[in-house]
Amino acid sequence: MALFSNSLIVDLLAKYRPIAAMTYSSSLLGWDLEINMPEAGAAARGKAQAELELLRQKMTLDLAELVEKAEKQEKLSDAEKGIIRVLKRDLQFYQKVPPDLLEELQKAITEAAIPWREAREKSEFRIFQPHLEKITELKRKQAEHLDPSTHPYNALLDLSEEGLTTSDLDKIFGELIPELKRILVKTLAEGAFPEKHPLEDVDYDVPAMKQVNEKLLSLLGMPMNRFRLDVSTHPFSTRIAGDDVRITTRYEPKNFKAPIYGLIHECGHALYELQVDHELDMTPVGGGVSSGVHESQSRFWENIVGRSRQFVSMSYPILKRSLSFLSLYEEDQVYYYINSVRPSLIRVEADELTYNFHIAMRYELEKKLLGGTINVPELPTVWDDMIEEHFGKRPRNSAEGVLQDIHWSWGQYATFPSYSLGNVVAGMLWNTLTEKQLLPIEGEENLPALKNWLAENLHKPGATYPPKELLTRVFGRGYEPSGLVNYLENKYLKVN
Ligand code: MG
């Protein structure tokens, strides 16, 4: 049966296609900005993107009547219901948040970019402070427009994590954090996973590393005619269309695990988009459903598959062939280098055991900031206090502390938890796929079955079901941290 048979939905989808074409264009412009655009092109690009966004807003609002009619139809398919749900969310956003506020926010974000960079370079929070005060005030206002009846954090959280609330997150972190502490303390005491490894300081040759990445893409079976890999300052992945996904990586000459695991991470994001049902192309549900589910796919491939003993075994010969310094290291030493565990003050350097502490701490901090119990000038001190509580040491300066992440300067509040949700869902996948004997993978020949399972169960529906419902359909329950705890315990405390 065709996914779309209701005539009102068919009509709605025809009217949605120009919006889909705009998303296609904006995504391509966004990708080009990071990869090809000459620096001086930034101002014109900003204006063009803002105009496209206004057009999208107008065209979405024009669909309001049709969406309302379509919603009253009986016997809609799941995909049809999904389309209405997603369009209603878009409509509500544009109806509730005044265009002036969006414009003001965009302006504040643009003006904050350079001061944030400068503040971080000089490690002087006061350079960034007035900009962050402005952005925070506007985000509080935005939350108020979206839903005045709830904590401002909930209103903003719903934008990236549909249906999720602070009480869900309190419960998830409340269960997860003490367990992680227990595993971390024991792992460090046992000492099998080193805090520091000599391979961290070895320089690699960039062309050789590029060769390694090409071979890893082929080991992972990435469809070479449906995606491409480029180099950018911050690695990312973006969907242009169902058969055109772009990923990026970066090469710094030290610590060769960074470009490898960055690449596998982005492949996880790409695979999700590439396996969404093609029948959903150019519809509102033709893409990943939420940041958390997206991050679960990237983390699953990066950590659970990529950092496993079996995958290290599979990739070791490839690494050894291109990176000559590895002739001094056995496969086992490479495995422990890849999985070293070190409480670090910097989120992006964190390992599997400490990463979620960084997120839990940012979550608590953002809740207080948006709720108004603390204000921007107090941030650096509160940040350092919280870090000390988690890691037992204080940042030496604000570049190592409150200025390390770019998210707030981009106006992204309540988006950090998506990273931990991704880890939690990846842990649930580990449990389920181990039971189904699809994990651990023993060799390249096991990868197609794994991808196929992910396609059939998680990827194909795109955004048809809201995240919690998708999880319930796949796992029989919503976000549940015990899978991640079991996985980490099994990996770090049962070393043989
Ligand atoms: Mg990611």
The pLDDT assigned to 390 comes to: 86
Question: Is 452 among the domain residues?
Answer: yes
Can you tell me the distance from the alpha carbon of 402 to that of 413, in angstroms, rounded to the nearest whole number? 14
Cα 296 to ligand 1 centre (Å): 9
Q: Per-residue pLDDT averaged across 265-288, rounded?
A: 98
CATH number at residue 183: 1.10.1370.30
The pLDDT assigned to 277 comes to: 98
More confident residue, 207 or 3: 207
Question: Is 466 among the domain residues?
Answer: yes
Cα 295 to ligand 1 centre (Å): 5
3-state secondary structure of 245: strand
The pLDDT assigned to 384 comes to: 96
Closest CA to 212 of 272, 174, 260: 260
Q: Per-residue pLDDT averaged across 325-335, rounded?
A: 96
The pLDDT assigned to 303 comes to: 98
The pLDDT assigned to 156 comes to: 98
The pLDDT assigned to 335 comes to: 97
pLDDT in tens, 198-235: 999 999 999 999 999 999 999 999 999 999 999 988 88
3-state secondary structure of 247: strand
Asked if 449 and 335 sit in the same domain, the reply is: yes
Asked if 147 and 176 sit in the same domain, the reply is: no
The pLDDT assigned to 2 comes to: 72
HSE-up of 175 (CA within 13 Å, CB side)? Answer: 16
The answer to which of 153-157, 202-206, 389-393, 413-417 has the lowest mean pLDDT is: 389-393
Per-residue pLDDT for 193 more than 90? yes
Cα 291 to ligand 1 centre (Å): 8
Per-residue pLDDT for 477 more than 60? yes
Cα 418 to ligand 1 centre (Å): 9
Cα 262 to ligand 1 centre (Å): 9
What DSSP letter does each residue of 173-239 carry, written as one string?
HHHHHHHHHHHHHHHHHH-SS-S--GGGG-B--HHHHHHHHHHHHHHTT--TTSEEEEE-SS--EEE
- Predicted structure pTM score: 0.96
Boundary-marking domain end, from 127, 160, 193:
160
Cα 2 to ligand 1 centre (Å): 33
CB of 417 closer than 8 Å to CB of 367: no
Tokens of 487: 């996985």
Boundary-marking domain end, from 142, 160, 178:
160
Asked if 361 and 424 sit in the same domain, the reply is: yes
3-state secondary structure of 244: strand
Q: Which domain holds residue 92?
A: 7-160
Can you tell me the distance from the alpha carbon of 170 to that of 70, in angstroms, rounded to the nearest whole number? 37
Cα 236 to ligand 1 centre (Å): 7
Cα 423 to ligand 1 centre (Å): 11
pLDDT in tens, 229-259: 999 888 899 999 999 999 999 999 999 999 9
Closest CA to 89 of 24, 35, 161, 151: 161
Asked if 253 and 142 sit in the same domain, the reply is: no
Cα 294 to ligand 1 centre (Å): 7
Cα 269 to ligand 1 centre (Å): 7
Rg of the chain over CA atoms, in angstroms? Answer: 23
The pLDDT assigned to 1 comes to: 55
Q: Per-residue pLDDT averaged across 100-120, rounded?
A: 90
In which band, very low, low, confident or very high, does the pLDDT at 50 lie, cut at 50, 70 and 90?
A: confident
Report the Cα 219 to chain-centroid distance in Å.
23
Cα 3 to ligand 1 centre (Å): 30
The pLDDT assigned to 9 comes to: 96
The pLDDT assigned to 162 comes to: 97
Asked if 344 and 413 sit in the same domain, the reply is: yes
In which band, very low, low, confident or very high, does the pLDDT at 25 lie, cut at 50, 70 and 90?
A: very high
The pLDDT assigned to 495 comes to: 74
pLDDT in tens, 173-183: 999 999 999 99
With DSSP H G I counted as helix, E B as strand and the rest as coil, what are the percentages for the chain, rounded to 5?
Answer: 70, 5, 30
Per-residue pLDDT for 496 more than 80? no
Cα 88 to ligand 1 centre (Å): 27
Per-residue pLDDT for 49 more than 90? no
Asked if 186 and 141 sit in the same domain, the reply is: no
Question: Is 1 among the domain residues?
Answer: no
Asked if 72 and 196 sit in the same domain, the reply is: no
More confident residue, 390 or 432: 432
pLDDT in tens, 277-304: 999 999 999 999 999 999 999 999 999 9
Structural domains counted in the chain: 2
Asked if 401 and 461 sit in the same domain, the reply is: yes
The overall average pLDDT reported for the chain is: 95
Cα 254 to ligand 1 centre (Å): 21
Cα 287 to ligand 1 centre (Å): 15
Per-residue pLDDT for 161 more than 90? yes
The pLDDT assigned to 388 comes to: 93
Question: Is 2 among the domain residues?
Answer: no
**What is the 8-class DSSP label of residue 394?**
-
Per-residue pLDDT for 424 more than 60? yes
CB of 48 closer than 8 Å to CB of 41: no
Question: Is 292 among the domain residues?
Answer: yes
Question: Is 24 among the domain residues?
Answer: yes
Cα 8 to ligand 1 centre (Å): 36
Torsional class of 323: left (φ above 0), alpha (ψ -120 to 50), beta (otherwise): beta
Cα angle: 421, vertex 304, 441; to 5 degrees? 140
Asked if 416 and 433 sit in the same domain, the reply is: yes
Q: Is the dihedral of CA 323, 325, 329, 332 positive or negative?
A: negative
The pLDDT assigned to 110 comes to: 85
Q: How many residues does the chain have?
A: 496
Asked if 260 and 360 sit in the same domain, the reply is: yes
The pLDDT assigned to 494 comes to: 87
Asked if 210 and 84 sit in the same domain, the reply is: no
Asked if 67 and 115 sit in the same domain, the reply is: yes
The pLDDT assigned to 195 comes to: 93
Can you tell me the distance from the alpha carbon of 200 to that of 195, in angstroms, rounded to the nearest whole number? 11
- Contacts of 47 by beta carbon, 8 Å cutoff, 6+ apart: none
In which band, very low, low, confident or very high, does the pLDDT at 34 lie, cut at 50, 70 and 90?
A: confident
Question: Is 120 among the domain residues?
Answer: yes
Question: Is 229 among the domain residues?
Answer: yes
* Residue whose pair of structure tokens reads 């931990």 in the numeric block: 420
Catalytic residue positions? 266
- Percentage of the chain lying above the pLDDT 90 cut: 89
Boundary-marking domain end, from 145, 160, 175:
160
For the sheet with 227-231, list strands across it: 227-231, 244-249, 237-241
Per-residue pLDDT for 363 more than 60? yes
Per-residue pLDDT for 447 more than 60? yes
Q: Per-residue pLDDT averaged across 14-27, rounded?
A: 96
